[in-house]
């Protein structure tokens, strides 16, 4: 009988202890509720409202912007508001974190989200620069704008390259210099406060303007009957009858072409035309296309031209062979040749040279010589 009474007593004490703990826990938690609105005072639906560091304490606002979180331990907490897909754009988000002290059920009547920051289309685009601009943030806790650049649309604060930071809320543009020609860039701006990001903009992209690598490729600009930007080397030491001159009677572009005379039936005297390339025009690892037109007054199936790109210290010394078939029929023929530059070289003091190797005696003409980046 004593054992039965002892067991009943233990059960009663356990129930009393449990009820006491439940009452204690109930008295130690509160409810936080409120309304979330946009900076224009419009209710914001589907805003994620979270008590920081408590994954289970998360709610989403309804169509009226209302949320209610129960079971919040009394005391001071960081409350985070996060709105994704702003303006139906999956890239744009706004976020606000604020400190809340709740020792009783607390209603936060008007929580305002900052306005989204939107990047405008780039303007003033050149071959090496562009102007980026965005709208002004309205958040009172603003700390800085951070502009990132990347080579694909997968751009965020980890993958992108930080190109600009400003703590002035009114400075909402940046002129980005030092870009590569003929290249596509992606940009995104993030807004931060003391807690971190409070907004991420849309992603924009644009392609910088292309540059014609070869200047005066149609040989129209002359000084003393020599083509500007070009150096002509007929190799008349090898044979004093070798010549390179301007012909203003036949051309495919304009009125001038280059006329080269090779004075030997056999052999391959090095006859050159060459020019200096501006610094930072050629891009490491990029793909290019060389085009020109040619014709001859002789026939030869085994001639060629070497395209040579070389800098002062030979970190770039590329020879590209282009086989030519000369036919004595008076017709101009086009050449299209693609090549890829090395992934690393000193991009200064580069010279472009075309070395013609002809196994026949006679005249041949070159015109409309151009080179541009294609990838």
Question: Do 257 and 365 belong together in one domain?
Answer: yes
Select from 346, 341, 359 the least CA-distant residue to 182. 341
Res 10 pLDDT > 50? no
Residues 197 and 233 reside in one and the same domain: no
Domain identity same for 229 and 362: yes
Of 207, 241, 259, the last residue of a domain is: 207
Is the per-residue pLDDT at 127 higher than 80?
A: yes
- Our CA dihedral for 215, 219, 221, 222, rounded to 10 degrees, sits at 120
Tokens of 49: 């409202």
Does residue 278 form part of some domain? yes
**pLDDT value at residue 5:** 47
Q: CATH number for the domain including 287?
A: 2.60.120.260
Q: What is the CATH number of the domain that holds 54?
A: 2.60.40.4130
CATH of the domain at 181: 2.60.40.10
pLDDT tens-digit readout, 268-307: 767 899 999 999 999 999 999 999 999 999 998 888 899 9
- Total domains, the chain: 3
Mean predicted lDDT score pLDDT of the chain: 89
Are 364 and 358 in contact by the 8 Å Cβ rule? The answer is yes
- How much of the chain exceeds pLDDT 70, in percent? 93
- The per-residue DSSP string of 199-250 comes to EE---EEEEPPP--SSSSTT---EETTEETT-EEE--TTT-TT-EEEEESS-
In this structure, the answer to whether residues 229 and 366 fall within a common structural domain is: yes
Domain region containing 136: 130-207
Flag whether pLDDT at 146 surpasses 50: yes
Same domain, 167 and 296: no
Of the three residues 182, 207, 232, the one that is the final residue of a domain is 207
Query: Does some domain include residue 173?
Result: yes
* pTM metric for this prediction: 0.81
From 112, 145, 161, give the residue that closes a domain: 112
Instruction: Report the range of poorest mean pLDDT among 21-30, 93-102, 174-183, 329-338.
Output: 21-30
State whether 344 and 226 are in the same domain: yes
- Residue pair 68/106 in contact (Cβ under 8 Å)? The answer is no
């Amino acid at each position: 009988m004593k054992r039965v009474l002892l067991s009943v007593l233990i059960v009663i004490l356990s129930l009393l202890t449990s009820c006491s703990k439940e009452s204690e826990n109930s008295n130690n938690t509160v409810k936080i509720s409120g309304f979330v609105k946009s900076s224009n005072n419009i209710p914001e639906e589907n805003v994620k409202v979270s008590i920081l560091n408590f994954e289970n304490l998360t709610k989403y606002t309804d169509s009226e912007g209302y949320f209610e979180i129960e079971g919040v331990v009394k005391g001071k907490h960081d409350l985070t508001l996060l709105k994704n897909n702003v303006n139906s754009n999956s890239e744009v988000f706004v976020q606000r974190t604020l400190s809340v002290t709740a020792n009783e059920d607390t209603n936060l009547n008007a929580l305002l989200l900052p306005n989204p920051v939107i990047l405008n289309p780039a303007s003033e685009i050149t071959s090496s620069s562009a102007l980026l601009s965005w709208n002004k943030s309205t958040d009172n806790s603003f700390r800085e704008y951070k502009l990132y650049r990347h080579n694909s649309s997968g751009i965020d604060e980890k993958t992108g390259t930080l190109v600009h930071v400003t703590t002035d809320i009114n400075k909402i543009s940046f002129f980005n210099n030092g870009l590569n020609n003929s290249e596509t860039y992606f940009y995104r701006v993030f807004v931060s406060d003391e807690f971190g990001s409070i907004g991420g903009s849309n992603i924009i992209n644009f392609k910088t303007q292309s540059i014609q690598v070869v200047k005066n490729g149609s040989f129209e600009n002359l000084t003393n009957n020599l083509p500007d930007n070009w150096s002509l080397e007929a190799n008349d030491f090898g044979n004093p009858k070798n010549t390179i001159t301007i012909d203003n009677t036949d051309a495919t572009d304009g009125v001038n072409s280059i006329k080269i005379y090779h004075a030997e039936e056999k052999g391959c005297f090095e006859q050159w035309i060459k020019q200096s390339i501006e610094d930072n025009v050629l891009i490491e690892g990029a793909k290019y296309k060389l085009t020109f037109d040619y014709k001859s007054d002789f026939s030869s199936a085994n001639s060629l031209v070497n395209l040579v790109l070389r800098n002062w210290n030979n970190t770039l010394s590329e020879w590209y062979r282009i086989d030519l078939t000369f036919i004595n029929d008076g017709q101009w023929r086009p050449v299209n040749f693609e090549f890829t530059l090395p992934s690393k070289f000193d991009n200064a003091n580069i010279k472009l040279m075309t070395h013609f190797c002809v196994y026949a005696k006679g005249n041949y003409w070159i015109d409309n010589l151009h080179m541009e980046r294609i990838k």
